[in-house]
């Protein structure tokens, strides 16, 4: 989630646009950007890693997320409109409608895609349990070739209509990767040092190719300028997998802080990507970062990631307390329990 916040600070915050494409500063920022880009893939991979062995999926969690998103959209819109923040009262009806119902405009694309993924988990697990691990590996390689390698070689053409990863089908693929890594975790012998080296090399390669393409006259080459910096990029996909392997090896004692942050993580996403906050606040509050050199910019980006995470986590924590007080959780629990599916999974 910290990585996703970082992507939005760099992109929507205007930092990326403030740096010339042919400078060392841009190249250095691209290395960081490549690392942060993995965060979206990792969320889906973690889902596969954690849920592959479960027979019963608690749909109340996804129902609670959808209710949370709807309530945040309503409250944030009412707050902005009541105090006329950023002259919002002069916005057209379409913009106000989008702020209240962002799903229709695909603004919360990840939640929309993740909802479909979550409801398919029992059936995905059924498939995974009944396929040999070596055959699952072959399937992942075939999909990797068709969704990552071939489109990249063709200038990032969206041949199979997965919108460069902005799609539930890409999240399903990431789910399979996470599930496979869980099944093979005891057989992956690569050292942590090599993993870190490969991660750095992939980030470096992604930034290098992007740097080269950005500085090629666009009238001579009809290819995407973000060919190596998107969710389906071969480099980004590999980095995501390596980070899952690396962090799955870290042994941490049960921590109240980690438990708190894990509970509030999706709330952090919902709050800071709200259309009004993302479109009006982000482009303003992070402008000051562009006035410093690249190293200070990176330090400020990391600092602001922490600040945004903490602020949004506190808001989400208060929301959780209110939900519990007024028993909204009972609604999501009831609906979720009615929808829950328990399958007999045979290996």
Is 329 within the bounds of a domain?
A: yes
Is 346 within the bounds of a domain?
A: no
Is 226 within the bounds of a domain?
A: yes
pLDDT of residue 343: 47
- For every residue of the chain, which 3-state class applies, written as one string? CHHHHHHHHHHCCCCHHHCCCCCHHHHHHHHHHHHHHHHHHHHHHHHHHHHCCCCECCCHHHHHHHHHHHHHHHHHHHHHHHHCHHHHHHCCHHHHHHHHCCCCCCCCHHHHHHHHHHHHHHHHHHHHHCCCHHHHHHHHHHHHHHHHHHHHHCCCCCCCCCHHHCCHHHHHHHHHHHHHHHHCHHHCCCCHHHHHHHHHHHHHHHHHHHHHHHCCCCCCCCCCCCCCCCCCCHHHHHHHHHHHHHHHCCCCCCCHHHHHHHHHHHHHHHHHCCHHHHHHHHHHHCHHHHHCCHHHHHHHHHHHHHHHHHHHHHHHHHHHHHHHHCCHHHHHHHHHHHHCCECCCCC
Residue-number span of the structural domain to which 333 is assigned: 2-339
Cα maximum dimension of the chain:
62
Domain count, the chain: 1
pLDDT mean for each 10 residues of the chain (347 residues): 95 89 89 94 95 83 86 88 78 72 78 91 92 95 95 80 90 97 90 95 93 71 71 95 94 82 89 89 90 93 96 92 82 75 47
Is 7 within the bounds of a domain?
A: yes
Is 345 within the bounds of a domain?
A: no
Is 344 within the bounds of a domain?
A: no
Note the pTM of the prediction, 2 decimals. Answer: 0.90
Is 89 within the bounds of a domain?
A: yes
Is 302 within the bounds of a domain?
A: yes
């Amino acid at each position: 989630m910290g990585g996703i916040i970082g992507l939005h600070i760099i992109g929507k915050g205007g930092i990326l646009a403030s740096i010339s494409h042919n400078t060392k500063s841009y190249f250095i920022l691209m290395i960081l950007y490549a690392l942060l880009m993995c965060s979206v893939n990792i969320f889906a991979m973690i889902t596969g890693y954690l849920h592959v062995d479960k027979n019963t999926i608690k749909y109340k969690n996804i129902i609670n997320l959808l209710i949370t998103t709807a309530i945040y959209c309503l409250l944030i819109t009412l707050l902005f409109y009541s105090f006329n923040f950023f002259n919002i009262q002069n916005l057209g009806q379409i913009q106000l409608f989008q702020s209240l119902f962002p799903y229709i405009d695909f603004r919360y694309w990840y939640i929309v895609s993740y909802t479909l993924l979550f409801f398919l988990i029992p059936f995905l697990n059924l498939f995974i349990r009944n396929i040999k691990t070596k055959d699952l590996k072959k399937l992942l390689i075939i999909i990797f070739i068709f969704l990552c390698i071939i489109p990249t070689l063709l200038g990032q053409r969206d041949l199979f209509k997965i919108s460069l990863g902005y799609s539930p089908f890409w999240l399903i693929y990431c789910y399979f990767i996470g599930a496979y890594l869980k099944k093979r975790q005891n057989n992956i012998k690569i050292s942590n040092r090599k993993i870190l080296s490969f991660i750095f090399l992939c980030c470096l390669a992604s930034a290098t190719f992007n740097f080269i393409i950005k500085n090629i006259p666009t009238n001579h080459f009809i290819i995407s300028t973000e060919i190596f910096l998107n969710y389906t990029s071969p480099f980004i996909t590999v980095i995501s997998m390596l980070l899952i392997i690396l962090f799955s090896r870290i042994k941490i004692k049960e921590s109240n802080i980690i438990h708190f942050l894990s509970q509030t993580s999706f709330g952090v996403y919902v709050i800071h990507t709200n259309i009004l906050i993302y479109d009006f606040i982000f482009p303003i509050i992070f402008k000051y970062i562009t006035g410093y050199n690249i190293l200070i910019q990176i330090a400020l980006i990391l600092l602001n990631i922490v600040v945004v995470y903490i602020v949004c986590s506190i808001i989400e924590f208060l929301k959780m307390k209110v939900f519990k007080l007024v028993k909204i959780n009972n609604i999501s629990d009831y609906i979720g329990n009615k929808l829950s599916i328990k399958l007999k999974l045979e290996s």
